[in-house]
Amino acid sequence: MATRRKTRRRSRFRRPRNIRRRAKAKFKKHGKSIWSQVTNAAGVLVFVSQITSKDRQNYANLPMQDKAKELVNNMVGRIFGFNPFKDRTQYPQTLEIGNGINKTFGIGVGTWLYSFLPKVPHKAKARRLGKVVAISAFLGGIFDAPEGDLRNRVQAQRPTVLSQQGRGSIVVSTMR
């Protein structure tokens, strides 16, 4: 007669081991995806704040709906030169490569370089965050508004007549 092997009976309230392992794996998986979401959000935040920082004071005291319209006009106007809301402030297109190197770009490059130091925890995360911040800051800086008002810069470079001397000679100066 064959002997039957006794099997242990599991409690209904206890989870099997493989289910616990899967739950731990899911937690680790979500932890990684949260970090990637934070990194991507940091890139978007840097890009938007880089473009809108100089014009934000113009619409700081408006109601939320008008702020949203101003933000859209600001972003789309600075990048494409088109302002979708005609009843709000019209922003011209700005494109200047020299504005790409700025303090936020330096912070991103510094974070990226920091990831190459030995014995640094989370090297891959720091490297990715540094790259995302540096690229977003550079692109945002390209479309950033110039220092001061553009109309004032153009007017300051126009020649003005200081005095008119004898025999038709004119003394001209440019204000800078």
Q: What is the CA radius of gyration of the chain?
A: 30
Backbone angles phi, psi at 119, to 5 degrees: 60, 35
Domain membership of residue 176 (yes or no) is no
In a 13 Å sphere around the CA of 12, the CA atoms on its Cβ side amount to 0
> Where does the pLDDT of residue 154 fall: very low under 50, low under 70, confident under 90, or very high at 90 and above?
very low
Q: Are 51 and 144 in contact (CB under 8 A)?
A: yes
Domain membership of residue 168 (yes or no) is no
* pLDDT tens-place string over residues 92-117: 999 988 888 999 999 999 999 999 99
Domain membership of residue 164 (yes or no) is no
Domain membership of residue 133 (yes or no) is yes
Closest CA to 97 of 50, 134, 144: 144
Q: Taking the model in full, what pTM does it have?
A: 0.65
Domain extent at residue 24: 18-147
* pLDDT tens-place string over residues 41-78: 999 999 999 999 888 888 889 999 999 999 999 999 99
Cα–Cα distances (Å) from 26 to 31, 37, 130, in that order, read: 9, 16, 27
Domain tally, the chain: 1
Domain membership of residue 157 (yes or no) is no
Domain membership of residue 2 (yes or no) is no
